[in-house]
Structure formats: C-alpha cells, structure tokens
Structure 1
Amino acid sequence: MAYQIPLFKLNFDEQEIQAVTETIQSRWISTGPMCEELESVFRNDFQVLDAVSVANCTDALHLACILCGIGVGDEVLCPSLTFAASVNCVRYVGAIPVFCDIKSIDHINISAEEIEKKITYRTKAIVVVHMAGFPAEMDTIVNLAQKYNLKIIEDACHAPLSEYKGKKLGTIGDVGCFSFFSNKNVSAGEGGMLITNNEKMAKRARLLRSHGMTTMSFERASGHATSYDIVELGYNFRMDDIRASIVIAQMRKLYNDLLMRSKVRSKYIEGLSDLKDIIIPFEDNKEFVSNYIMPIVLRDSTRDKRDAIRSMLHSLGIQTSVHYPAIHRFSLYQTQKNNLPLTEYVSDNEITLPMYASLTDEEIKYICMSLKNVLTNYEIRG
C-alpha cells in the first residue's frame, strides 16, 4: 500500500543529480577523486586522523574487527538490539559474539554494567551501537576498555554528527563505522566510512579494502604509480565515485537536516507527553544528535498488542517499523544461551514512528492523535 505518511523520505534534490552528472561526465566513476574528497570531508567534520571510504558499513565493521586484532576464538561483547551486521562482523573473523542487555527501556543502548559482568579472559573488544543516534555510556565503557585492555568499535551508522560530551560519536573508540544506506541520515543507496585516529589502522584499512594492493587504479591512471604489489590478503570493499559524489552533497545538507529533525522530535515529545501507555527512549537527552529514527516502547504490553497497534496505524496511512528484532533470537545465533529480558521486551514492544526533516506539524499531530486513538480503541476492545 502507499502510505499517507511514510517512515522516511530521501533528502534529495538537484544537488545530488548534479553531483552524479558531473562525476559521470568526468569519465572516472570507480574509486577516485570523489572518494578522496569525501574522506577529506569526514576527516574535517569529525576531526579525526583518517577516514577510509568503503562499499558499505558492513565492510567497515568487518575491517574494524580485523584492525582491532580480533580472531578465531576471541569474544566480543555486543548488543542484540541492533541490525545483524553489528554482530555478523564478529563472526566473519571467527570470533564469538557475547550478547549484552540494554541499560533500560528508556535507554536502549548496550549496558555498561552488563559489559563488565560478561568480560572474560577471552574478551577482546566491545561493539557499541548508538541506537537512533543517541550516545551509549561512553565514559564508563571507555574506562572498562582501558581497565581490561579491550578495543572499542563504534557502530555509528545511526549517528552522523551526534555528540557525547562535546565529542562526535565514532571518534571515541578505536574505530568508528558509518553507513550511507538508502534510509540513513546520509544516503547514497549503499556506501560506508571507517574513521580512526590510529595511523597504522588507517593505513592497513586502505590496503585491505582493495585486495591488499599497494596502489589503486586511480593512482596509476593519474601517473602517481605504474605498478603495484599485493602485501596482504585483502578484499574488494571499495566505494565508487558516483556514490561518493552523492554523499558529499548529502554531507553539505546534514547539519541543517539534523536541526530540523531535532524540531520534529520536540514536536513528537510535546504531542505524546500525556500518553501514559508509551515510553520515549532517551526522552531527556540534551546532546546534539542525529535523530535517525523515532522509537517508542509500549508499556505493559505484548508482541501481539504491538503488532496490532502497528496494523491499525498502517490502516490509517502511517508507516511504522521495528528497530530491531533481537539478533540472539535469529536461528543463526540461537545456539547460545542468553538472558536479555530488557532487550526482548523492547524488541517485542518497540514501534518506530516516521522521522524525517520535512515532516510537517500537521503530520506529526495526525500521527500523535492516531496513536492515542488506536491505543484507546485497543484497550476498549481488549
């Protein structure tokens, strides 16, 4: 069905069209000058030593695990309330994901207390996902990493330009990873970025993303090299210049887009303030964040009730989603025993409402009113 109010809208206009057109007209469309320019944008915007463009955030996470020295039999602490790529990357290198519960129903990021409980002599790293663009307990997590000599991988795909105590998310750990998937704050259909302040990691990431080759095609075509060596077993994780040009255009708009999203969130909180049947995660957050999604969690609810509420909202033309089905429940990961009651409750009772900068006051009012009516009607029928 065509929704009256979709879950998200692309922030595209003539700038993206012009960027793609100029890139095609340049006759260089694979990894080249646009990727280099995009990496420079990230270095400047995030004030990091280096940024390495890749084909998608999954590749960035995979590389991050390799760069952090994670290998067969190592354990990596990670959330289950996230997209599968945040955990699959651990399995790619033969390591074992150890799932940690979230902090609370109103703070749906990985719990620092859970992390410390699950550290063993085999633990090598922590994967932190900043859900919806809101920061995890990074001071405590960094202290734990230093205490136990662990690496931190920040999955910041929800969080471009989000901040924690004046620091950009993705810059606090050893490696930060970003996504340019079609529904992200910065969108190019696919694409990703790895950032780090570790020179050795950055240099190795550049090798591994392109078959372990010492020079790239663009360098040879530009006359900066005439040959190459292969010094590591690498991958084809390269981004192309067409998508890079789109991301550059998107990055120019990002800050203003996030300001508008912040206003949308404020209107949501105002419109839902008297609704006692829901919890708004991170409601009291005062940091500057990306507001990638607008999650709510039903109180005293069940999965069946959540699904029924979503269906009723859909019938009113409002698209919703769920962020996320808990990873530890997927068939691939059910071999492990897990006790994650908060994660499971949120996974069963979370609803993601529409969130984008161009969402109007009237649309937000309609969504809030519809949610109130649907919840009331459900209780009456129940």
Structure 2
Amino acid sequence: MGKSMWKVPLSDLTFGPEEKEAALRVLDSGWLTMGEHTLEFERRLGEALGTPRTLAVTNCTVALHLAYAALGVGPGDEVICPSLTFVATANAALLTGATVVLADVLGEHDLSIDPEDIARKITPKTRAIAVVHYAGYPCDMDAIRAIAAERRVAIVEDVAHGPLARWRGQALGTLGDVGCFSFFSNKNLAVGEGGAITSKDDSLHSRMRLLRSHGMTTLTLDRHKGHAFTYDVVEAGMNYRIDELRSAIGVIQLERLPEGNRRRREITERYHTQLASIAGLQLPYKDFYARGAGESAHHIMPVLLPEGVQRQAVMERMKANGIQTSVHYPPIHQFSHHGASERVRRDGLDRTDAIAPRELTLPLYPRMRDGDVDLVCEALAASLR
C-alpha cells in the first residue's frame, strides 16, 4: 500500500533537491563503495553527537551485532533487553550465541525499560544491558549506568529512535559503552538503509572498525589512493560497510535533523493537547519535559487505547478515514521463535503484556501540517465512539 492511498501517512521523507544532487555527485565521481563521503558523514555525525568515535554501517541491526561482537558477547553470556522493542535488538544478541533476558517496561507513562527489572534479572552471566530509547525518549540512564557500574556489565544503547536526543545534556548513544543508530527510510534521519555505531573508548572503536570490514588492516579506498598495496586480516570480521550514495544523502539529512526534531516536538505537543480530553486514552511521555532530565527526538507518537477497546477495529476505522497507523511493537516474547526458544528468558513481563495490546502509533513526521494533526485526532476520537 503506497503513500498515495493515505490522506495522512504514518511517516514521510523530508527530501529536497539537495539529496538528489548529493547522489548524483557520487555517481559522477565513479566511486560507489565506502569512501570520502562516508568519512565526511562520520565526521559530521560525530561532531553532532559529541564523539569522534563514530562509524557508519549498513543498518542498525548490524550495528547491534557489531556492538555485541566487539564486547565479546557469546555462548554462555546473557544480554538483557526490553521485550517492547523491534526484534533486531534481541536477534543480534541471539546471533552471537548468547541468551536474551527480556525486561519489563516502566508503565503507561513511560514505555522504556524498567531499571528495577534490569537489576532483578542480572546474573553472573550477564554481559550487557541493551537499552532502547523508545520513541526517541531517553531511558533513565542515571539508574541504568549505576546498575551497570556496580555489576560491571556493558551498556549497549539502541538509539534507532533517538538521533540528537539527549539525557542531561549528553547525546544518546554516548552514555553507554556502544551506541547504535538507524537511518532506515522511516527514521528521523533517513537514507533508505543505513546506520552508525559509536563507542566510549578507542579500543572498542578500533575493534569495530576492523570487524566492519572483514578484519582487514587496509580498505579498498586506501589501495585505490595508493596508500597501501596489500592488506592483512587480523580478525574474522564481517562486511557491514555503508556505501557512498547513502553517506552523501546522510550528510544532507543530518543538516535537516535539528529542525526536523524541533518540528516533531511541536507536532507531539499539539497531539497531547488535542487528545487530552478523550476518556480513557493514555498519552505516554506527556509529562516528559516536566522532569527536566532530557530531550526527545520524538520519532513516533504512541498512545494507549482505553481498556477493552479492540485495536484492530480502531485501525480499520482510521484506515477508512485515510489515516495510516501502526503498532510499536508486538512484544518479542510473543513471537513464535522467541516464545519457544530456550535462549530467551521471558518471565516477569506483566506490564508489557498489559500495555502492548493497547499501543497505537499515530502519524508523525516533520512535513505534517497542523491541520493533518487535527484530522488524525478527530478520526481517532470518532473511531473510539
């Protein structure tokens, strides 16, 4: 189903002639694989995040796998992550041979991972905690960092929803050991497929650079420029490189990101105002800024439907009105594979089980007009009658 069938789609690209021109410059250059545009994208993204240890990769899933691999996660280890997240957060850990321990959410007001549940589920086998900054809102990183420091486990930040969001002034993705970003086509910074990974120290950064490209000591670009004539392979790595086309588009998208995030916040605030009067409808994060601890990237607009309402019926009514909606997310422990796997622990997820069937995601993207927001709110109110 294409965009044309929707009066208001769930998401939309913020592209202009600049992205097209950037792509054409790459085609005209004759160099498509990872090269100078990627280096520029990494440098600019690192400057925006406040860290020079930034690598562009082909998507966020490989960033997560790269993170776990670089941290030495493997068979016999455990990784704690929320069940209310996209399945890649868990799958990347499972692919290392580790066991995934699923944690509960805080509650209706905050759909992030519960630090107290993390503390309850840590064992001597825990190697890493994967935190997901759901919808672009920071998790309680003070509490999570304290737990990780006390138990000497690593923190992997899944920042797919949160580019340029902050916790106490520091960019998400730079608060843990490794940060993983997504530039999928529905993300705040979109290149089609793409991602990035950041690290807290030089040794992790160097290891991930090697693992990103087959464990080779020099890259094709180095040999193309005559800086090297051969290479050694010092570790069994993967090919997780990004290409020049996506990196060039990423540079332009990065320039748009601050304004895009600002507009997303305006739209979210309008939603919260317009929807506040609907009986039984819960608005997660509506009091987020009152806490004064962070800044969101406002990637998606989640609401919790009133108790007893059939979500599928609401989504069908919204569709009939030309409004696209979605669900973020079906909990991981309810999938066939993860629900049966011996390497997935799924106990103590009562809040996730209660909240997930009520979650509905409304349209949110920078090019939305105020009138579009009002149309969505009116359609939702009518769908609940």
Q: Common fold, TM-score beyond 0.5?
A: yes
- C-alpha distance in structure 2 between counterparts of 1:87 and 1:337, whole Å: 12
Aligned equivalent of 2:242: 239
Does residue 270 (structure 1) correspond to residue 277 (structure 2)? The answer is no
Mean CA deviation greater in 292-301 or 28-37: 292-301
Residue 339 of structure 1: how far off its partner (Å): 3.0
Structure 2 CA distance, aligned partners of 1:24 and 1:332? 42
Alignment partner, residue 42 of structure 2: 39
Following superposition, the deviation at residue 313 of structure 1 comes to: 0.7
- Tell me how far 1:285 sits from its aligned partner: 1.2
| Partners of 2:181 and 2:350 in 1: CA distance | 28
Secondary structure, counterpart of 1:77 in structure 2: strand
Query: Which residue of structure 2 lines up, in the alignment, with residue 322 of structure 1?
Result: 327
Following the alignment from structure 2 to structure 1, what is the Cα–Cα distance between the partners of residues 221 and 370? 48
Q: 1:311 and 2:316 equivalent?
A: yes
Which residue is equivalent to 1:369?
378
Question: Shift of residue 299 of structure 1?
Answer: 2.7
Any conservation in 1 of the 2:94–2:100 contact (CA below 8 Å)? yes
Corresponding residue for residue 297 of structure 2: 290
Q: 1:356 aligns with which of 348, 353, 365?
A: 365
State the partner residue of 1:347: 356
Report the residue type matching 2:117 in the other structure.
E
Normalised by the length of structure 2, the TM-score is: 0.95
Matched, 1:299 2:306: yes
Q: Identical aligned pairs, as a percentage?
A: 39
Verify the 8 A CA contact 1:49 1:197 in the aligned structure 2.
Answer: no
The CA deviation at 1:301 is 2.8
Are 1:70 and 2:77 matched, yes or no? no
What is the RMSD computed on CA atoms of the aligned residues?
Answer: 1.0
Structure 2 CA distance for aligned equivalents of residues 255 and 40 of structure 1: 17
* 8 Å Cα contact 1:49-1:196 kept in structure 2: no
C-alpha distance in structure 1 between counterparts of 2:200 and 2:123, whole Å: 27
Cα contact 1:328–1:338 (8 A) shared by 2: no
Alpha-carbon contact 1:78-1:97 (below 8 Å) kept: yes
4+ runs deviating over 3 angstroms:
none
Decide whether the 8 Å contact of 1:32 with 1:218 is kept in 2.
Answer: yes
Q: Which residue of 1 aligns with 2:165?
A: 162
Report if the CA contact (8 A) 2:43-2:52 is conserved. no
1:380 corresponds to which residue? none
Q: Report the residue type matching 1:131 in the other structure.
A: Y
Assess if the C-alpha contact under 8 Å between 1:75 and 1:125 holds in 2: yes
Residue 109 of structure 1: CA displacement?
A: 0.5
Deviation at 1:276, TM superposition (A): 2.3
Q: CA deviation at 1:337?
A: 4.4
CA contact (8 A) 1:49 1:199 kept: no
Q: How far apart, CA to CA, are the structure 2 residues paired with 1:179 and 1:363? A: 26
SS in 1 for 2:230: coil
Q: State the alpha-carbon separation in 1 of the partners of residues 279 and 139 from structure 2.
A: 25
* Distance in 1, Cα, partners of 2:22 & 2:242: 16
Q: For residue 121 of structure 1, what is the aligned residue in structure 2?
A: 124
Deviation at 1:300, TM superposition (A): 1.5
- Residue ranges of structure 1 left out of the alignment (5+ in a row): 377-382
Q: Give the aligned partner of residue 33 of structure 2.
A: 30
Superposition TM-score, scaled by structure 1 size: 0.96
1:219 aligns with 2:222: yes
CA distance in 2: counterparts of 1:337 and 1:354, whole angstroms: 31
331-340 vs 138-147, which moves further? 331-340
Cα deviation, 1:249-295, whole Å, max 9, x if unaligned, reads 10011001111111111111111111122111111111322111000
Distance apart, 1:49 and its partner CA: 3.3
Superposed CA deviations along residues 183-237 of structure 1, whole A, max 9, x for unmatched, are 1111111011001121011111111111110000001101111110011001111
**1:138 paired residue number:** 141
CA distance in 1, matches of 2:200, 2:113: 24
SS where residue 252 of structure 2 aligns?
A: helix
Residue 79 of structure 1 contacts residue 128 of structure 1 at CA under 8 Å; is this kept in 2?
Answer: yes
Letter in 2 for 1:14: P
SS at 1:194's partner residue? strand
1:5 aligns with 2:8: yes
C-alpha deviations, 1:61-89, integer Å up to 9, x for none? 00100111211110111001011100001
Structure-2 change in CA distance of 1:337 and 1:157 (3 Å): closer
- Contact 1:215/1:225, CA 8 A, preserved across alignment: yes
Question: CA separation in 2, counterparts of 1:325 and 1:301?
Answer: 18
